[in-house]
Amino acid sequence: MAAMLQPQIILLKEGTDTSQGKAQLVSNINSCTAVADVVRTTLGPRGMDKLIHDDKGNVTISNDGATIMKLLDIFHPAAKILVDIAKSQDSEVGDGTTTVVLLAGEFLKEAKPFVEDGVHPQNLIRSYRTACYLAIEKIKELAVSIEGKSLEEKKSLLAKCAATTLSSKLIGGEKDFFASMVVDAVIAIGNDDRLNMIGIKKVPGGNMRDSFLVNGVAFKKTFSYAGFEQQPKKFLNPKILLLNIELELKSEKENAEIRLSDPSQYQSIVDAEWNIIYDKLDKCVKSGAKVVLSRLAIGDLATQYFADRDIFCAGRVAEEDLQRVAAATGGTVQTSVNNIIDEVLGTCEVFEEKQVGNERFNIFSGCPSGRTATIVLRGGADQFIEEAERSLHDAIMIVRRALKNSTVVAGGGAIDMEISRYLRQHARTIAGKSQLFINSYAKALEVIPRQLCDNAGFDATDVLNKLRQKHVLPSGEGASYGVDINTGGIADSFANFVWEPSVVKSNAINAATEAACLILSVDETVKNPKSESAQGEAAASAMAGRGRGRGRGMRRR
């Protein structure tokens, strides 16, 4: 009898919560679908915005998928995967963050009935991966290259891509104005991969059209001392000296001790300190520089000294701005004022201090290297300017990607419908269950044009039927037809210049498929309890604290 009793094996710590099997998989799919439903309405030119305020009272208004996902603070472990793919799409391409979340949610939604019917998730995963590969190959086939065009043509084509991105943003009303500004900024930095070479400065007040692009560097006037107003505020072709040293009198350390045998020596020690700073300032003046910038403080003595010699100075310049000035003017940041040679000095065509709204800005324009640009954004509310900055970031990323990969596809849901048609056709050539799975993958891709219609208040069924009709034309001429947001019908997206870089689409489909496959491959969730020993220690310390409090009280009495 004893031999028949199996020993009980305790594998996981007591209190561990495990859930597994089909129910767990369906629960994960439902949570991801719920997340996709949150950002669903933000897609496209007629998409709505989300207002999110956190426990600190910060308010953010945005329709950028990555920003919303980041601020939602999602708790569900499976749904966090969607947050990660939105982040990866944002860092890799810059736009299409809502698309990627929506596609992943829709792939899972289509997979749910199969899972409930008992299909093994690995069969679904295999078919989804095949469909993803076919879809990306089809995108490469449909993409149109903008390589080999003249600079003017290229600018115009890139502006179309930027305008497509901006049309779904809060600043969509001024998309043409900002699109050309973004293209000029990206072309200005050339092949430099550092995104921080394009600075965006926000100045509340004025309207959006008061925003302007500086072909160089602009930053807010730094903290200034007496004598600053006597300095000249405009120079033509000045030499610029960039420093990383303090130019002010330093008091001695708290515990510094100097022993003197003769009181008359005291004055020589005080003079030595003044001589050191005057020597530094003299060397700055002798270098021939007319503009002196430093990352550290430039004190009142130095400010007055420079003012007397018609030199402009600014201390405590932000590290990022100083680096951008160095890149733009061809100067090098110095950590000493000894042996300053002409090669380390920068230059620009015009330096001036200008009033922008309520702020004064130092502007370096006409820089020789031209490897940097600054966009000064104007607008009413702070939240509006913040969202405009996020929108411009997306547009800048898109133009950079289009410039590097130089292939574009038709937007407005056209490419999604064409891939969907192609996959349906391909599915007919496959025997077995995978035909159904690839078909459901193709159906999921239609969520993009459908959502564009829903968000604009059009009849999605009617528009999708018209699109399907166009996309099955044997001549292939309907391949670039997408949703026409203006009329509520369909139109040739390519002819209407609704373009997006092919990398946006291929990256979105890739990331969404990966996320869907990852969630489908999970069949068990294990939630570990907090360590009991840690809980015990916390309780013990709390008791000890209370004991100490009582002891003190008794002594006081």
The CATH number assigned to the domain holding 337 equals: 3.50.7.10
Could you confirm whether 64 is annotated as catalytic? yes
> Could you give phi then psi for residue 507, rounded to 5 degrees?
-70, -40
Structural domain includes residue 42: yes
More confidently predicted of 397 and 148: 397
More confidently predicted of 119 and 272: 119
Structural domain includes residue 331: yes
Q: For the segment 256-276, what is each residue's pLDDT rounded down to a tens digit?
A: 677 778 777 778 777 777 888
Residue 316 and residue 298: Cα distance in Å, rounded? Answer: 7
Structural domain includes residue 541: no
Catalytic residue among 33, 42, 60, 64: 64
Q: For the segment 396-443, what is each residue's pLDDT rounded down to a tens digit?
A: 888 887 777 778 888 888 889 989 999 999 899 888 888 999 999 999
Q: Which of 253, 245, 248, 294 is nearest to 274 (CA)?
A: 248
Q: By residue range, what is the domain housing residue 395?
A: 151-215+375-405
> Do 319 and 395 belong to one domain?
no
pLDDT surpasses 80 at 7: no
pLDDT surpasses 50 at 551: no
pLDDT at 9: 65
To which H or E segment does residue 15 belong? none
C-alpha separations of 503 from 271, 292, 343, 511 in Å: 66, 44, 41, 12
pLDDT surpasses 60 at 537: no
Q: Residue 11 — pLDDT band, cuts 50, 70, 90?
A: low
> Do 513 and 432 belong to one domain?
yes
Q: Mean per-residue pLDDT for 363-375?
A: 80
Residue 490 bridge partners (DSSP): 483
Structural domain includes residue 259: no
Q: Give Cα 181 distance to the centre of its chain.
A: 18
> Do 28 and 114 belong to one domain?
yes
Q: Residue 545 — pLDDT band, cuts 50, 70, 90?
A: low
Write out the two tokens for 335: 């950590």
Q: Please, is 299 exposed, middle or buried when counting C-beta atoms within 10 Å of its C-beta (0-12, 13-18, 19+)? A: middle
> Do 204 and 289 belong to one domain?
no
Q: Give Cα 397 distance to the centre of its chain.
A: 9
> Do 125 and 67 belong to one domain?
yes
> Do 248 and 379 belong to one domain?
no
pLDDT at 263: 79
pLDDT at 552: 43
Catalytic residue among 97, 165, 303, 372: 97
Q: Which of 336, 328, 303 is nearest to 190 (CA)?
A: 328
Q: Mean per-residue pLDDT for 512-528?
A: 85
pLDDT at 4: 55
Q: Please, is 537 exposed, middle or buried when counting C-beta atoms within 10 Å of its C-beta (0-12, 13-18, 19+)? A: exposed
pLDDT at 246: 83
Domain count, the chain: 3
Structural domain includes residue 455: yes
Percentage with pLDDT > 90 across the chain: 8
Which CATH number belongs to the domain containing residue 467 in this structure?
1.10.560.10
Q: Mean per-residue pLDDT for 448-456?
A: 89
Structural domain includes residue 545: no
Could you confirm whether 18 is annotated as catalytic? no
Structural domain includes residue 350: yes
pLDDT at 329: 84
pLDDT at 510: 92
pLDDT at 153: 77
> Do 425 and 487 belong to one domain?
yes
> Do 166 and 227 belong to one domain?
no
pLDDT at 1: 47
Long-range pairs, 128-132, Cβ under 8 A, ≥24: 128/437, 128/441, 128/513, 128/516, 128/517, 128/520, 129/513, 129/517, 130/434, 130/438, 131/423, 131/437, 131/438, 131/441, 131/442, 131/513, 132/441, 132/509, 132/510, 132/513
Q: Mean per-residue pLDDT for 306-318?
A: 87
pLDDT surpasses 50 at 111: yes
> Do 244 and 328 belong to one domain?
yes
Could you confirm whether 262 is annotated as catalytic? no
> Do 294 and 417 belong to one domain?
no
Catalytic residue among 98, 99, 165, 372: 98
Which CATH number belongs to the domain containing residue 197 in this structure?
3.30.260.10
Could you confirm whether 98 is annotated as catalytic? yes
Q: What angle do CA 92, 378, 391 make, to 5 degrees?
A: 20
Write out the two tokens for 18: 């495990």
> Do 331 and 383 belong to one domain?
no
pLDDT at 147: 74
Model pTM score: 0.77
> Do 421 and 464 belong to one domain?
yes
Structural domain includes residue 5: no
Sheet of strand 234-236: strand arrangement: 216-220, 359-365, 350-356, 234-236
Catalytic residue among 90, 394, 454, 492: 394
pLDDT surpasses 80 at 535: no
